[in-house]
Structure 1
Amino acid sequence: MWFCFFIVNHREFRFAGFYKWWVCCIFAIMKRKYISILALLTTGLVANAALTVDCSLRKALSVTPPAGTGLNDIYIIYGGSETVLTYTSESGENNVKWLVYDERGGGYAEEVSTIDRSGAVSTFRNPRVNCGYIIEDGAKRSYFWLVDYSNYEFAINGVSFPAEQDCGSATLEVDCDCPTITYYSVTGVPKVLSREITVSYNTLEWNDDDAVYNGKETTETVANLSERMVLPAPLCDTQFVIDGDKFLSQWGLAKTFTTDILSASSIDFQTTATQQRRENGNEQGTEEDALGGSAPATITFSAICTDAVEHKEWQISKSQDFSTVDYRFNEETIDYTFDEQGSYYVKFIGSNSDASCTNESEVYTVSIGESLLDCPNAFSPDASPGYNDEWKVSYKSIVEFKCWIFDRYGNKMIEFDDPSKGWDGKYKGKYVKPGVYYYVIEAKGADGKEYKKKGDINILRSTRTDRNETTE
C-alpha cells in the first residue's frame, strides 16, 4: 500500500479575468490486484485512447455510450479469438497498463499480463470478450467495453397475431433469437445495448388541407425484440416488416422478416358540421359563429372514416347527456333541417365490426331561437334605389308564411309565401300610386307561435317625375 500526496502551487494564474490560487490534491490507494473506485474516478483525465480494434472476421464497430456510464466507447466485434487491440501511448512511454473488469465494475479490475510491447505501442491479442477494459497511460485513463456479437446472434423465426387486438395498439407475437446485449458501467451498473431494430408498416394519416386520410408508412425503432411487441395500431390493413439489427446492417448482413397481413381493427374518423347560410337582409339570427339561429336551419353533418369503421351512426338528441336519442341515421353524411325552437345535441358514433373499438365525435350544439315577426308600415318604391324601396317583414324562425297585399278597393296587388321576399310597389309591372294599402299575414314560428297580422302600408310619394304609375 502506498500513499502519494502532491501539491501544485501556481502563482498568478489567470482564469476568466480573475487571479486565483489553485491547489490540486490527488489521492490514490492501491492494493495488490485491486484499484479503488475512488482512484478510478478521481485520478487523472478521461480521454479518448489512441486505440484500434481489428477483427479479421468482420469490421469492428463502435458505439458511444451514455455519459453516466463512465465509458469512452463500446466496441462490437465478431469472434474474440480473431481480434487484436492496439494502443499507441500519447506520452510515448512503453509502460502503459491494461486492466480488465467484469460485471462487478472497475473497482475489481485486474491487470492484463499478456500484452506485447514495442516502444509506445502495446498490443493485446485474443482479448477476453463481454467485459470492460481500462487503459492507464500515465495520468490518463480510458474505459471501454468489448462485446462479442457472436454470443448475441439475431434471428427471427416467425411472427403471428393474437386473435384479439386491443383498440389503439397492434400486438405481435414474435418467435426470435434475440438475447439482450448487456454491458456494465465503470461502477458496475448493468446497461442494455440497443440493437435499434426497425418495424415498418402502413397506416393512415389525416390531412387537414385536403380533408382526407392519406396512406403513410411509419417506422418504429425498438431496442430489442421481445416475445410480445405492442405497437401503435395501423388504421389500414398492412404487413409488418422487421429489419435489423443495426450491427448486422452495418456489416451488410441485415435480416428482414415480413409478416402476414394484419386486418385493421383500430378506427379513427373526422367530423364536420356545415350550416347552409341564408343571406336574407330581413332575417334575424343568422350569425355564422354558431350552429342554428333562425329556423328553418339546414345543417350538413359529415364523417370521414378509416377502413375499419363498420358501424356508423349520427345521433340527434334534445338531452345533453343523450339519455334519450330522438333521431338516428346510419350514414356518414346527413342533411337535417331544424324547424322547432330549442337546443339540440348531435354526435357521431363509429365502431369496428365487433364493436371492440368504438369512438365518439365531439358534440355539436344547435340552438334554434324563438320566432319574431314585425311588419313595417311605410316604404317609398323607386324614390331612393336601394333604400327603403321594398316592403319586407323582419322575421326570425318563421317556418310557415303567407302574405297578401291589397289596395283600398280590395284588389290583390301581390301574394307570396316566403318571408324573405317582399313587395316592390308594383302591380302588373308598374308602380302603384302613393297612398294606403293593406297587408294580411298568416304565419307560424318554430316555437309553435301562430301569427295573424293585418295592417296598413303607406307608399310615400316619389320626387321623381319619370314614374310610370298605374291608374285606377
Structure 2
Amino acid sequence: MRIKSNLIDSMTIFRCSLLVIFAILSNPIFSQITAPTATYSSVTQYASSPQDDIFVFCDNIGAGVGELKAVSNDGTSGWTFTWTKWDSGTGTFAIPIPSVDTSTESILTNLPDGLYKVEATNGVNSFNDQAWVLNRLASSQQPNFSLSRRDCAGIFFNSSFGVIQLKYQDITTKDEILLPATYVFELTREGLSVQRTPLIDYDGSVKSFFDGEAFEGKKNYVLTVTDECGRDYVSSMISSETYVVKAEFTVKPKAGEAPLEVEFTNESVNADDFEWFIYQDFDRIADAANVEDSLLVDGIITDEGPIAYTYLHPGNYFVKLIASSENVDGTCIDEFNFKAEGTPIVVDTSLVQVPNVFTPNGDGRNDIFRVKSQSLKSFSGTIINRWGRVVFSWKNPDEGWNGKINGKWATPGTYFYVITATGREEQKKKYTKKGSFMLIRK
C-alpha cells in the first residue's frame, strides 16, 4: 500500500508540472515600458492597484524631454506598436501618439507630462503597459536666505526655496497626487560645508541652519539648494562674525622625568579673558577639596599665555583653561580641560635600574656601565673590584664607567657596585642598591 501511494503522488506532481508549463507557454508575453534616459523613477500611489511606473526627466529648456521605450522580449520580429496618451477629461487613452518603430522595439521622444500606454502584437502574442512621464523643470529663483540670530552657541540662519512640485492623477478617482521631491540644503562658510541637510518631500517651508564653530573676524556664508537633477541654486552671500568662544591650548612636552618644564601655548579663538587652573597630582586631590586647595600654584593665573611651569615631583597632572569674551548680548565662555581631552601631563616616577653586564670593547654598544634612572633628586655610584678597591665613582646618573682604570682597560671579570639615590616624589623615596656585574671584553 505504501508503494502504491508513492506512485500516485509522483504522477500527481508530474501532471501538475505539465499544467504549469502549458500555462506559461499559452499565456501572452508581457513586457514593461522602460525609460533609459530618465533621471530617476518612482511608482504611483493610486487608491487601488495596479500601479504604474513614473519616470522623471530633467528638463532644462521647458520643451518636454521625456522618452519611453517598449521592446519585444521574446526575441522575434514582426511586432507592431500602438501608443496612446491618457485623456484626463474622458478618463480614456484616446490621444494617439506617433512613435519611431522597428520590428522589435518602439520609442517615443520629446514627451510632455502625461500617462502613456503602449499596445503591441505580433499576430500571435500581445502585451500592453503604461507609464507616467514627468518633466522636472529648472527653477529661475534663488533660495531665500537670512541671518536669524547670533548668540554664544553660534549663528542661526533661515532658508526656504520655491518647490517645483511634480504631480499626476489617480486614473480612477481623478484626484491629484503630488510626487515627493528631495532637495538638499547646504550651508557653507568660506566655501567649506557647515551643515548639509537632505529634505525628503520638501514643501517649501522655512528651515533653520546653524554654525556653532568659533572663528575670528567676519566670514562669508551662502546657502545652496540642489534638486534631484543635480542643479544647484545659490543664495546671496551673508557676512557675519560669531560670538562663539573656543578655549584650547597645547602643552610641550606631555611627559618626561622630574623636574619637567612644560610650556603652554594658548590657541583659544575669539576670547579676551583667560583663567588657568594648574592642578596638583590628580591622586592627591581630595574629592571634597575646593579649587584653591587643588591648585599647584597660588591662585588662578589670568595671563593670556602663562610662562612655562616646572613640575618638580612625579605624578599625573591636568590643567584647565576657561576662556571668555564680552559681547552685546553678555559673556560667552568655553572651557578646555587637558586631562579630559586625553592623557594628562605625566611626570615619570623615580627609577634606578643597574645592569648586570657590560662590554667595553669600543664597538659602540654597551661600552659604558650606566645606571638607568629617572626623576632623581640625588645620586651616588661607586664601583669596587674583587679586592675591595674603588675603581670608579660618579654623581651624575647620566654618566658612567667606561671600563678603564687610570686610562688603561680594566681586567675582565666580576666587579661590585654600591648605588644610593633619592627620588623626586613628594614623600621621599630612597634607593640603596648593592650587587655585582660582569665586565666582558671580546
Counterpart pick for 2:316 among 344, 348, 352: 344
For residue 4 of structure 2, what is the aligned residue in structure 1? none
* Deviation digits for residues 230-271 of structure 1 (CA, Å, limit 9, x no counterpart): 256556453223345558986xxx753332223353759696
Which SS does the other structure have where 2:220 is aligned? coil
8 Å CA contact 2:187, 2:193 repeated in 1: no
Write the mapping of 1:199-210 to structure 2, written as runs, cut at 5 A.
Answer: 199-202=187-190
Q: What residue identity is the alignment partner of 1:137?
A: E
SS at match of 1:21: helix
DSSP-derived class of the 2:150 partner: coil
What's the counterpart of residue 376 of structure 2? 398
Which residue is 1:420 aligned to? 398
The count of aligned residue pairs is: 363
Residue 143 of structure 1 deviates from its aligned partner by: 1.6
Alignment of 1:326 with 2:311, yes or no, is: no
Q: Secondary structure at the match of 1:159?
A: strand
Map of 2:21 onto structure 1: 21
Deviation (angstroms), 1:420: 2.3
The aligned residue for residue 84 of structure 2 is 97
Could you report, residue by residue, the CA deviation over 1:108-159 in whole angstroms, capped at 9, with x for unpaired residues? Answer: x9225455769989999997x6xx5242434232322435759x76334542
C-alpha distance in 1 between matches for 2:270 and 2:26: 69
How big is each residue's C-alpha offset from its partner over 1:41-67, in whole Å with a ceiling of 9 and x where there is no partner? xx94321269xxxxxxxxxx9531246
**Separation in 2 of the partners of 1:432 and 1:161?**
84
The residue type equivalent to 2:21 in the other structure is W
The aligned counterpart of 1:64 is 40
Deviations 1:310-365 (A, max 9, x none): 65857544337996543477667985544324x41425657664446555552324
Distance 1:382 1:433 in 2: 9
Q: 23, 27, 32: which is aligned to 1:46?
A: 32
CA contact (8 A) 2:86 2:95 kept: no
Q: Is the 8 A contact 1:402 1:441 kept in 2?
A: yes
Q: 1:162 aligns with which of 149, 157, 165?
A: 149
CA contact (8 A) 2:185 2:224 kept: yes
Q: Which runs of 5 or more structure 2 residues have no equivalent in the other structure?
A: 1-18, 46-51, 72-78, 121-126, 326-330, 385-389
Cα-to-partner distance string for 1:65-104 (whole Å, 9 max, x where unaligned): 2468753412466899x7698989875444x3322679xx
* TM superposition shift of 1:398: 1.5
Q: How much has 1:163 moved relative to structure 2? A: 2.0
Q: Which residue of 1 aligns with 2:55?
A: 73
Is the 1:347–1:364 contact (alpha carbons within 8 Å) kept by the matching residues of 2?
no
Is the contact between residue 145 and residue 157 of structure 2 (CA under 8 Å) also seen in structure 1?
no
Q: Distance in 2 between matches of 1:394 and 1:249?
A: 66
In structure 1, what is the Cα distance between the partners aligned to 2:382 and 2:70?
110
For residue 260 of structure 2, the aligned residue among 289, 298, 306 is 298
Mapped contact 1:145–1:183 kept (Cα < 8 A) = no
Q: Provide the C-alpha distance between the structure 1 equivalents of 2:97 and 2:368, rounded to a whole number of angstroms.
A: 110
CA shift, 1:368, in A, is 5.4
**317-326 or 448-457, larger mean C-alpha shift:** 448-457
Q: 1:389 to 1:147 in 2, by over 3 A?
A: closer
Preserved CA contact (<8 Å) 2:277 2:295: no
Partner in structure 2 of residue 56 of structure 1: none
TM-score by length of structure 2 reads 0.54
- Matched to 1:340, the amino acid is H
Q: Give the 3-state SS of the residue equivalent to 1:240 in structure 2.
A: strand
Cα deviation for residue 382 of structure 1 reads 8.1
- CA contact under 8 A between 1:47 and 1:72: conserved in structure 2? no
Alignment of 1:371-410 (within 5 A): 371=350, 395-401=373-379
1:229 maps to 2:208: yes
Gaps of 5+ in 1: 1-18, 28-42, 51-60, 103-108, 204-215, 276-290, 407-411, 464-472
Matching residue of 1:172: 157
Task: Provide the C-alpha distance between the structure 2 equivalents of 1:261 and 1:26, rounded to a whole number of angstroms.
Answer: 72
Q: 1:66 to 1:359 in 2, by over 3 A?
A: farther
Separation in 1 of the partners of 2:431 and 2:107?
A: 111
Counterpart-to-counterpart distance in 1, 2:258 and 2:281 = 17
1:405·1:439 contact (CA, 8 Å) conserved in 2? yes
Counterpart position of 1:212:
none
**CA separation in 2, counterparts of 1:384 and 1:124?**
90
List aligned pairs for 1:270-281, cutoff 5 A.
274=253
Contact 1:346 1:363 in 2 (8 A): no
Amino acid at match of 1:45: S
CA contact (8 A) 1:273 1:300 kept: yes
Change (3 A) 1:184 1:230: farther
Equivalent AA in structure 2 for residue 242 of structure 1: L
Secondary structure of the corresponding residue to residue 344 of structure 1: strand
Classify 1:233/1:137 alpha carbon distance in 2 versus 1 (closer, same or farther; 3 Å). farther
Measured against aligned partners, the alpha-carbon deviations of 1:385-417 in whole angstroms (never above 9, x if no partner) come to 9899867656453223467999xxxxx999865
Q: Is the 8 A contact 1:309 1:350 kept in 2?
A: no
Change (3 A) 1:331 1:419: farther
2:134 aligned to 143, 146, 149, which one? Answer: 146
Pair 301,337 (structure 1): closer, same or farther in 2 beyond 3 Å: same
Change in Cα spacing, 1:74 to 1:384, as seen in structure 2 (3 Å) is closer
- Percent identity over the alignment? 11
CA distance in 2, matches of 1:199, 1:297: 50
Change (3 A) 1:64 1:333: farther
Quick one: which amino acid aligns to residue 223 of structure 2? I
What TM-score, normalized to structure 1?
Answer: 0.51
Note closer, same or farther for the CA distance 1:74–1:249 as it changes in structure 2 (3 Å cut): closer
1:449 equivalent to 2:397? Answer no
Tell me if structure 1 keeps the 8 A contact 2:249–2:267.
yes
Q: Could you tell me which residue of structure 2 aligns to residue 106 of structure 1?
A: none
How far the C-alpha of 1:421 sits from its partner, in A, is 2.5
C-alpha distance in 1 between matches for 2:136 and 2:432 = 97
User: Residue 469 of structure 1 aligns with which residue?
Assistant: none
8 Å contact from structure 1 (residues 199, 240) kept in 2: yes
User: In the alignment, residue 150 of structure 2 is paired with which amino acid?
Assistant: A
State the 1:23 CA deviation: 2.7
